[in-house]
Amino acid sequence: MFPIREATFLALDVKLLRIEAPRIARRREAGQFVIVRVHEHGERIPLTIADSDVDQGTITIIVQGIGKTTKLINMLETGDVIQDVVGPLGEASEVSLFGTVVVIGGGVGTAIAYPTAVAMKQAGNRVLSIIGAKTKDLIILKEQMQATSDALFVMTDDGSDGTQGFVTQKLVELLQGGEQIDRVLAIGPIPMMSAVADVTRPHGIKTIVSLNPIMVDGTGMCGGCRVTVGGQSRFACVDGPEFDAHDVDFKILAQRNTLYRAQERAALESLEADPAGDLEEIRHCRLEQKHPEVGPQAK
């Protein structure tokens, strides 16, 4: 059982949760993720660790409510408990002194890019950040990114914050402006990461993306998260989640991520029609935690 110490919305459908998980907090490095199972009947989903606090023994995840499980997580509040959290999984981001690093975060991808941006800055890099979203209300971690970047550019589809346009536009502008870029980290929706790869490819700029395919165990056991990189099948959970963007087959990745669309839609509809059952299962856990003596009988 993993208690939630803090739960706050950062934007519409985007929630920050600080979870007590001391072992994970102690070992976690930028770029790694956890697998979360909300309750006894839940699925296992990967979520990148946005931050951790060793003294408090907590990790922070930032979750955008899209499907049933993520929407359900967004319904949780301080004091609720998550059934299972396991990690830190995956390889840490490769961080060293590269020179000028452009960090690009699209939508909730900013939450995943943020810890690596911090690490890049600490390693002495000049960090230029571009964060983008559909609209102003969906821009997250703006102040934090500002604080860790030498320059921050905000892009929105509707121009309600920063400049109107896609993150790739700003990247092209930087390149056209003669900016010497040594490395790019791009994390966001698949079309965005693919577009960034296309921009940097002709310039030969090493570009890293963090992939989020469907996973089950997260330890290399099932192979469900296999992605095609440089023509080879790789497991995102143990070989990744970060890969060289110029080698990733984004089309296959996008196709594999739609495998369970029908079931996902049905699950979401049933949650939205009646979230009580799922919430009760979680809240019952909270009862168990506070009053172990009522445990199983309460069920």
Choose the stretch contacting other proteins; rule: CB under 8 A; options: 56-64, 126-134, 200-208, 219-227: 219-227
Q: Does residue 85 bind other proteins (CB under 8 A)?
A: yes
Torsion angle in degrees (nearest 10) through CA of 236, 10, 8, 242: 10
Of positions 264, 275, 287, 288, contacts other proteins by CB under 8 A: 264
Say if residue 219 is exposed, middle or buried (CB neighbours under 10 Å; 0-12, 13-18, 19+). Answer: middle
Q: Does residue 163 bind other proteins (CB under 8 A)?
A: no
**What residues contact residue 26 under an 8 Å CB cut-off, 6+ apart?**
54, 57
Of positions 178, 202, 262, 296, contacts other proteins by CB under 8 A: 262
Of positions 31, 87, 132, 241, contacts other proteins by CB under 8 A: 87
Q: Does residue 291 bind other proteins (CB under 8 A)?
A: no
State whether residue 196 is helix, strand or coil: helix
CB of residue 54 to other proteins, shortest distance in Å: 14
Of positions 10, 20, 43, 106, contacts other proteins by CB under 8 A: 43
Q: Does residue 203 bind other proteins (CB under 8 A)?
A: no
Between 94 and 179, CB nearer to other proteins = 94
Of positions 75, 172, 175, 238, contacts other proteins by CB under 8 A: 238
Q: What burial letters (b/e) apply to 51-67, b meaning 16+ CB within 10 Å?
A: bbeeeebbbbbbbbbeb
State whether residue 234 is helix, strand or coil: strand
Residue owning tokens 């070989």 = 239
- Six token digits for residue 67: 């499907």
HSE at residue 87, side-chain half, CA atoms within 13 A, is 37
Residue numbers of the site for other proteins (CB under 8 A)? 23-24, 27, 37, 41-44, 68-69, 83-89, 216-217, 219-224, 226, 228, 233, 238, 249, 251-252, 255-256, 258-260, 262-264, 267
